[in-house]
Amino acid sequence: MIKAESLTMIYGNGHKATDDISFDIKAGEIVGFAGPNGAGKTTVIKMLTGILKPTSGTAVINGFDINKDPVNAKMSFAYIADNPDILIQLTGIEYLNFIADMYEVPEDVRKEKIVSLSERFGMKDVLNTQMREYSHGMRQKLMVISALIHNPPAWILDEPMTGLDPSAAFELKQMMREHAKAGNAVLFSTHVLEVAEQLCDRILIINNGMIIREGTLDYLKLDNPGMSLEEIFVKLTGNPEK
Ligand SMILES: Nc1ncnc2c1ncn2[C@@H]1O[C@H](COP(=O)(O)OP(=O)(O)O)[C@@H](O)[C@H]1O
Ligand SMILES: [Mg+2]
């Protein structure tokens, strides 16, 4: 459902950030994208979501090519960017309604979702406040809520746990599990390996723009018996995560 086909990105300054990245995340799967800072996770996610045009290769979301059929592709995924500091001049509710308009969410559905999600994330009382007054964690929670209002089949989340308090992180993990269980696909990048270990059906490990290992946790542990994911990761990348 979330398919990368030989995604290569060479930035304008000549830096090759990703090299021939391919994977396919099927309905029902939660996949973690792990790698040290600068490994290329955000670059891959930006190519998957149509923010960056790949130098070569393409991405197919829910059967729609992101570059040939961008509107249908974009309607079928929710995206959480690595930085929630956007449109902070809007109030929370203005932002949520803007996103709901973009995704053509019907009035009654959006009302119900906004109430239930803002309650679940403890954001009900601040929806009429401008986002510039929000803390990083509150902005991040609002991004999560906005992504879930239109509830598309694929979720693509770039470091979604960053800045969330423990109860919000717990809710989000719970929702990721529920979403996958309902037959959808979830891809999230993380530098917190414990989160990957708890949640993922499969882990993709990226280093220097290439996928150097992928598989279930059990598979990754096969040739490294007794090691935690963190130990395996450091052994493979030689680069403890910050
Ligand atoms: N706009 C850009 N121009 C040139 N190099 C970039 C640009 N954006 C990211 N990079 C470089 O590409 C590499 C991958 O970055 P990124 O995808 O952000 O990694 P990650 O999300 O895994 O930390 C890094 O070396 C980074 O410095
Ligand atoms: Mg990143």
Per-residue pLDDT tens over the stretch 22-49:
999 999 999 999 999 999 999 999 999 9
CATH of the domain at 166: 3.40.50.300
In a domain, 242, yes or no: no
List the domain range (segments joined by +) for residue 146: 84-151
Are 167 and 185 within one domain? Answer: yes
Are 57 and 171 within one domain? Answer: yes
Are 72 and 158 within one domain? Answer: yes
Distances from the Cα of 121 to the Cα of 116, 138, 142, 170, 198, angstroms: 9, 9, 9, 10, 21
User: With bands split at pLDDT 50, 70 and 90, how would you rate the model's confidence at 239?
Assistant: low
Are 64 and 123 within one domain? Answer: no
The span from the CA of 194 to the CA of 232, in Å, is 12
Distances from the Cα of 167 to the Cα of 121, 161, 172, 181, 238, angstroms: 8, 11, 9, 21, 32
| 57-77 pLDDT, tens digit each | 999 999 999 999 999 999 999
The whole model's pTM is what? 0.93
| 89-131 pLDDT, tens digit each | 999 999 999 999 999 999 999 999 999 999 999 999 999 999 9
Mutate to test the pocket of ligand 1, among 8, 9, 11 (most ligand atoms within 8 A of CB): 11
In a domain, 188, yes or no: yes
Of the three residues 127, 151, 175, the one that is the final residue of a domain is 151
Of the three residues 108, 128, 151, the one that is the final residue of a domain is 151
User: 108 CA distance to ligand 2 centroid (A)?
Assistant: 36
User: With bands split at pLDDT 50, 70 and 90, how would you rate the model's confidence at 146?
Assistant: very high
Q: Find out whether the beta carbon of 13 lies less than 6 Å from any atom of ligand 1.
A: yes
Q: Total domain count for the chain? A: 2
Of the three residues 96, 126, 151, the one that is the final residue of a domain is 151
Are 161 and 172 within one domain? Answer: yes
Query: Does the pLDDT of residue 242 top 50, yes or no?
Result: no
In a domain, 217, yes or no: yes
Q: Find out whether the beta carbon of 40 lies less than 6 Å from any atom of ligand 1.
A: yes
